[in-house]
Structure 1
Amino acid sequence: MSSIVGSRSRRLSDAQWAVIGPLLPSNAGRRGRPFEDDRRVVDGIIYRFRTSTPWRDMPRAEFGPWQTIWKRHRRYAGDGTWDRVLQALLAQADAAGLINWGVSVDATIARAHQHATNTTRPDQDTGAVSNHKNLPLGEVEPAGHGIGRTRGGLTTKIHHAVDGNGLPLAIVVTGGQRNDGAMLEQVLDDIRIPRIGRGRPRTRPDAVLGDKAYGSGVNRRMLRARGITAVIPEKSDQIASRKRKRSAGGRPHSFDVEAYKDRNVVERSFALVKQWRGIATRYDKLAITYRAGAVLHACLTWATLLGDTP
């Protein structure tokens, strides 16, 4: 057990650690010298993202050397550890019937602090960071580090897919200038929930709820080809164009108004993740380490639910 049990700085509850701890590499048969005090280090990572404290200013008395906390987070971000933990938690939740497969998608902007932007990068790079195809994340750090120039300055965009209860299923990070609708397919590709036992991972939602930014013909055809119900309103110019064409414009797209009322869960999920100041404002130079903070937040969300489930 962590040496800081009872401290105000501890961020992991006993129930959360009971779920997450066994999934970390140091507790799952890792070769070589075992990591020391995993819980204390993970507490430190959480503390840093919740408070946006610079790594070098981490309270040593509470969490130990800042170098240890940073190196562990960098390792777990680069080798996909946090993604594997999240997938394992999602597999448990799916087996328990806790996932609502009416998936909502949206994106939110985070301003990039000057500490995150003092890197060499091409302007307007649109590379994305996700867990798509389970590639080692260290191999897919985009050239622009997921930072783009928008009206608000240098920003990062987090693309989110959440289940019908607002619980995170997929997280993709791009530059802030990236169009929401253009990222829909990659966000859906990031949903991959393994089965406990035999069977292929589940990757297909029953329905996708999105705002008008996702209502392009390309996205609708993609969803139709995958057998996914699109709950997306049409843009006014699309409606006007169809009416001008009369019968040649085709039929209006089906739209479930009642189901669309549930789309607000993705907005609420952003409100929760942005309570971590290190997510609301980006201080990390690398997109993979910034995204790993959001994935860690998702892990805690699911661990809380699973820890409370009998």
Structure 2
Amino acid sequence: MTSASRFQVFSDEQWARIEPLLPSNEGRQGHPFGDNRRVVEAIAYRYRTGIPWRDLPREQFGPWQTAWKRHRRYAADGTWDRVLAKLLAQADGAGQVDWKVSVDATITRAHQHATNTTRPEQDTGAVSNHRNLPIEECEPAGHGIGRSRGGLTTKIHAAVDGRGRPLAAVITGGHRNDGALMGSVLGDIRVTRTGQGRPRTRPEAVIADKAYSAGTYRRALRARGIRAVIPQKSDEIAARQRRGHRGGRPPQLDTGAYRGRNVVERHFALIKQWRGLATRYDKLAITYRAAVVLAACLTWSRI
């Protein structure tokens, strides 16, 4: 391994796929973007290592301010969401997306550098694909940081395809209920067609754990024609049994399909190898989520 490759996150093949999807200088006012790869590699390297922005090696990446400002710009204008959307469209066009979708959430501790902001005691907002909304409308008041048993935390709600590759990500405070965010996570799935046709937004099935077993969530999936692969909680089973025949039939569970739910846990294990995602250092939820989406772009650029 050469000294330069130690600082690289993208392979040459991955960069060849991603570079054409990034914003160009055409029609842009002000100083033109220079050396896109060096700046984007700096952003990815910072999140992979978890170092402060100021500690980025200058000889490899240039001034740290350039990398930070570019990341902030790409987070605000949804650049990485658009790149991911194009990569997903290419993969779906090639039949590479498995539409048996697994949904879950994982908690990350918020570092003191992320929490020294003014915010409500409990964050009730969520940040997802804002699709070019003004930044004032997409950054929640509490910055996606909430107080839970683990202290000040952030939660990443994700949907992955049947092979564990990310389709959507929503950021909330760590105290938010997993099931209550299922609609927002599924609503963030929007895969455009490479040819004609409307974007695909509906999975074949949603595989989730007992946190998503409430009747409200099952009815919402049924209304969209999505098969629910979700086991019941023990108290739900007991309540139905107490009612006897009035309790109705239990929802069916495809145990074979449910065995595949671990792909979402493996996805979380992979993204948390990036130390800047395993612990949140970002003050803004949109910049933290942008790094989660950047990691997703890296995954899909390997396909």
Shorter-normalised TM-score: what interval? over 0.9
2:64 corresponds, among 60, 63, 66, to: 66
Query: Mean Cα displacement is larger for which, 192-201 or 6-15?
Result: 6-15
Name the SS for the 2:176 alignment partner: coil
Would you say the 8 A contact 1:147–1:176 is kept in 2? yes
Tell me if 1:176 matches 2:174. yes
- Identify the residue that residue 297 of structure 1 maps to in structure 2: 295
- Within 5 Å, which residues of 2 pair with 1:134-153? 134-136=131-133, 138=135, 139-153=137-151
One-letter amino acid of the counterpart of residue 8, structure 2: R
Equivalent in the alignment of 1:94: 92
Post-superposition offset of 1:135: 4.4
- Once the two structures are TM-superposed, the CA of residue 7 in structure 1 deviates from its matched residue by 3.6
- Matched to 1:67, the amino acid is Q
Q: CA deviation at 1:137?
A: 6.5
1:195-274 matches, within 5 Å, as 195-274=193-272
Give the aligned residue type for 1:253: P
Task: Indicate yes or no: 2:28 matched with 1:31.
Answer: yes
Distance of 1:65 and 1:113 partners within structure 2: 24
- CA 1:38–1:93 in 2, change beyond 3 Å: closer, same or farther? same
- Where does structure 1 differ by over 3 angstroms across 4 or more consecutive aligned residues? 4-7
TM-score (norm 1): 0.94
User: Offset at 1:26?
Assistant: 2.0
Q: What are the residue-to-residue correspondences of 1:94-133 with 2, within 5 Å? A: 94-131=92-129
Range that drifts further, 10-19 or 91-100: 10-19
- Residues 90-116 of structure 1 show CA distances to partners (whole Å, capped at 9, x for unaligned) of 000000000000000000000000000
Quote the Cα distance in structure 1 between the aligned partners of 2:104 and 2:207: 9
Which of these residues, 182, 193, 214, is aligned with residue 191 of structure 2?
A: 193
- Listed as ranges, the gaps of 5+ residues in structure 1 are 306-310
Query: Which residue of structure 1 lines up, in the alignment, with residue 55 of structure 2?
Result: 57
Deviations 1:212-239 (A, max 9, x none): 0000111000000000000000001101
CA distance in 1, matches of 2:23, 2:231: 44
- Give a deviation string over 1:106-151, Cα, whole Å, max 9, x none: 000000000000000001112000016x243723100000000011
Distance 1:152 1:182 in 2: 20
SS at match of 1:26: coil
Q: Following the alignment from structure 2 to structure 1, what is the Cα–Cα distance between the partners of residues 194 and 27?
A: 22
Which is further off, 224-233 or 243-252?
243-252
How has the CA–CA distance of structure 1 residues 31 and 51 changed in structure 2, closer, same or farther, with 3 Å as cutoff? same
Question: Bigger CA drift: 115-124 or 5-14?
Answer: 5-14
* TM-score when normalising by structure 2: 0.97
Counterpart-to-counterpart distance in 1, 2:126 and 2:132: 13
Residues 150 and 55 of structure 1: is their aligned pair in 2 closer, same or farther, counting only changes over 3 Å? same
CA pair 217-10 structure 1, distance change in 2 beyond 3 A: same
CA distance in 1, matches of 2:241, 2:197: 46
Q: Which amino acid aligns with 2:139?
A: E
Query: Which residue number in structure 2 is paired with residue 308 of structure 1?
Result: none
Counterpart-to-counterpart distance in 2, 1:112 and 1:131: 21
Match of 1:281 in 2: 279
Equivalent position of 2:6 in the other structure? 8
Q: Tell me the amino acid that sits aligned with residue 179 of structure 2.
A: G
Displacement of 1:304 in angstroms is 1.2
Secondary structure in 1 aligned to 2:127? coil
Q: Aligned partners of 1:96 and 1:295: how far apart in 2?
A: 21
**CA apart distance, 1:30:** 4.7
RMSD: 1.3
Q: Secondary structure at the match of 2:6?
A: coil
Is the 1:129–1:137 Cα contact (8 Å) retained in structure 2?
Answer: no
Residue aligned with 1:184, SS: helix
User: Residue 169 of structure 1 aligns to which amino acid in structure 2?
Assistant: L
> How far did 1:6 drift?
4.2
Q: Tell me the distance in 1 between the aligned counterparts of 2:100 and 2:146.
A: 31
Q: What's the secondary structure of 1:48's corresponding residue? A: helix
Aligned with 2:301: secondary structure? Answer: helix
How far 1:5 moved relative to its partner?
9.4
Residues 271-304 of structure 1: CA deviation (Å, up to 9, x unaligned): 0000000000000000000011110000000001
Distance 2:151 2:249 in 1: 41
